[in-house]
Amino acid sequence: MNYYKLFGAGLILICCTLCGFYCSYKLSFKLSFFNSAIDFLSRLETNIRYFGDDVFKLITLSAPSELSEFFSEKKTPFTAYWNSSVQRLSKAYSLSSEVRRNLTEFGKMLGATDVEGQIKHICVYKSVFTTARDNFQKDCKTKARLYKTLGFFAGAVLALLII
């Protein structure tokens, strides 16, 4: 038996398995976005209630460390600022169109009403993102296991084909 074939088959098995683990990791990375977004909304609600300052400052102050790079203070109109931040977030976290749409709609009304209206608006979207997180978390458990298993078995089949 040729040792090069065994070595190549082993490398293919390892690479496919690692690919499955990477896909599983991307799911958990996306789940961390939902947790950070809910944390952001909670902080924003508190800061609006107690500070009532400029929307740019409140968002920068409220953003958790994972999302702070997406919400750096800019001198553009708020809607353009928010939409560009949502676009960068969607590329970094591979967000679905529904989540992007919810984030864009959230930004449209932010800063447009009085303090109580903004707090109610934040509470509505906090429940929307909590529901989305819970649904994604259920899917994440099964899909993460599926990706890992699929990666290993795809590598095993390819390795057997080489041998």
Is 90 exceeded by the pLDDT of residue 102?
no
Residue 111 Rama label (left phi>0; alpha psi -120 to 50; beta): left
Number of domains in the chain: 1
Q: 29-47: b or e for each residue (b if 16 or more CB lie within 10 Å)?
A: ebbebbebbbbbbebbbeb
* Residue 37 domain boundaries: 3-162
Residue type, 106: F
Residue 68 Rama label (left phi>0; alpha psi -120 to 50; beta): alpha
What is the spatial distance between Cα 63 and Cα 51, in angstroms, rounded to a whole number?
15
In contact, 140 and 27? CB cutoff 8 Å: yes
What is the spatial distance between Cα 40 and Cα 87, in angstroms, rounded to a whole number?
17
Is 70 exceeded by the pLDDT of residue 79?
yes
pLDDT in tens, 22-32: 988 888 888 88
What is the spatial distance between Cα 13 and Cα 102, in angstroms, rounded to a whole number?
40
Give the DSSP letter string of 99-120.
HHHHHHHHHHHTTSS-HHHHHH
pTM: 0.74
pLDDT in tens, 123-135: 888 998 899 889 8
The pLDDT of residue 69: 63
Give the DSSP letter string of 53-87.
--HHHHHHHH--TTTGGGS---SS-HHHHHHHHHH
pLDDT in tens, 16-60: 999 999 988 888 888 888 888 888 888 888 888 887 666 777 777
